[in-house]
Amino acid sequence: MDSKFYKGLDAKGQEKGLLKKHGDTYASKNASGTGPFIVTERQQGVRVDFERFDGYWDKKSPGNVDEIVLTPIKEGPTRVAALLSGDVDFIFPVPPNDHDRIKKSANTDLVTLGGTRIISFQLNQERVEAFKDKRVRQAVNYAINNEGIVKKIMKGFATPAGQQGPKGYAGYVDDLQPRYDLKKAKQLMKEAGYEAGFSITMMAPNNRYVNDAKIAQAVASMLSKINIKVDLKTLPKAQYWPEFDERSADMMMIGWHSDTEDSANFTEYLTACADEVSGWGQYNSGNYCNEVVDTLVKKAGSETDPATRTQVLQDVERKLYEEAAFVPLHWQNLAWGASKNVAAKDVVNVMNFPYLGDLVIKE
């Protein structure tokens, strides 16, 4: 943030530099930066208009786009239809069911990349006594068919996950694979004294991740096979995140991409002991806490030898796997759709931050 631009009070008497989640602040409506575009109009939830910034510092940028209109289209099929009809030029995400439609069109291209965003569920140990038992958490993991979800719901457009970080990240462990085994799940429930099962609530978004609501429905169905009865509620993301912050259900979905491209970032936010001061565990709705894990991640943060650091983070992944600290489902792949004259392939990346400043529209 530009300290000079955000200095002083706004019309409401609030500090211009105030950052507030889900809040109506000056900073949330007044942009300041050095990017290739400036915001000329914003209708929240409807559209955002951008105009190219003449004073942009990168004079070698190949980008030739002067204006961009960003239009939120919540439903996947509607989004795809808008692209195919020519109403829009560039969309994300493209649901797996619609990949072939875009591929077969003479006017559009499908651009795909392997993704690194983990889609997972967290088990709230403060709300459900059974989730404090490692055997029950393990049983939940054994009861969920990750590969089945990827094959049937994601149409193969995802990678089944057994840990936080995908292959290629520091901390990835080859032998930590998805562990679907319904017989083993039932055995663990019996050993823990929960053979008769119990009831829980579950929440998930229905327009944040690819097929998120369908995934939640599938997981709820799978858990019924070990006598865990699920009361599922799915919500639009704007309504879901305040509920997530309140830890409003016993089992909640969250997806996460590591900004640092290694597994430490996952742990710091998703599985570390919650600490309001440091921000660690900020998105740990399961309230899992293991001081040994936190100590290891902090050690990795100060370790300068890459090989040693990788070993430390692998120890973290092994510990989380053994304790079934959370429920990993899959790493979500990325798919964009674009008109033939839009050079989308040149600006997309696995971080899913398309660099529109360099976007070229072919004449």
The domain locations on the chain are 115-332
pLDDT of residue 307: 96
Backbone angles phi, psi at 159, to 5 degrees: -120, 120
Read out DSSP for 185-235?
HHHHHHHTT-TT-EEEEEEEESSSSTTHHHHHHHHHHHHHTTTEEEEEEEE
Residue 262: per-residue pLDDT: 84
Task: List CB contacts of 347: < 8 A, sequence separation 6 or more.
Answer: 354, 355, 356, 358, 359
d(CA 114, CA 157): 9
Task: Check residue 20 and give its pLDDT.
Answer: 76
How far is the C-alpha of 115 from the C-alpha of 97, rounded, in Å? 17
Written as one letter, the residue type at 103 is K
Q: How far apart are CA 180 and CA 360, in angstroms?
A: 45
The CATH code for residues 115-332 is 3.10.105.10
Provide the pLDDT for residue 345.
96
pLDDT for the residue 2 = 64
| Those residues with Cβ within 8 angstroms of residue 197's Cβ, 6 or more apart along the chain or in another chain | 189, 226, 227, 228, 229
Q: Which class for 63: exposed (0-12), middle (13-18), buried (19 or more C-beta within 10 A)?
A: buried
| Rounded mean pLDDT for each run of 10 residues along the chain, 363 residues in total | 76 84 77 86 92 93 96 93 97 94 96 94 98 98 98 95 94 96 98 98 95 97 98 96 96 93 93 93 96 96 95 97 98 96 94 93 89
Beta carbons of 51 and 67 less than 8 angstroms apart:
yes
What pTM was estimated for this model as a whole? 0.84
Q: Which residues lie across from 253 on neighbouring strands?
A: 121
pLDDT value at residue 261? 82
Helix or strand or coil: residue 98?
helix
Please report the pLDDT score of residue 22 as a whole number.
66
pLDDT at residue 16, rounded to an integer: 87
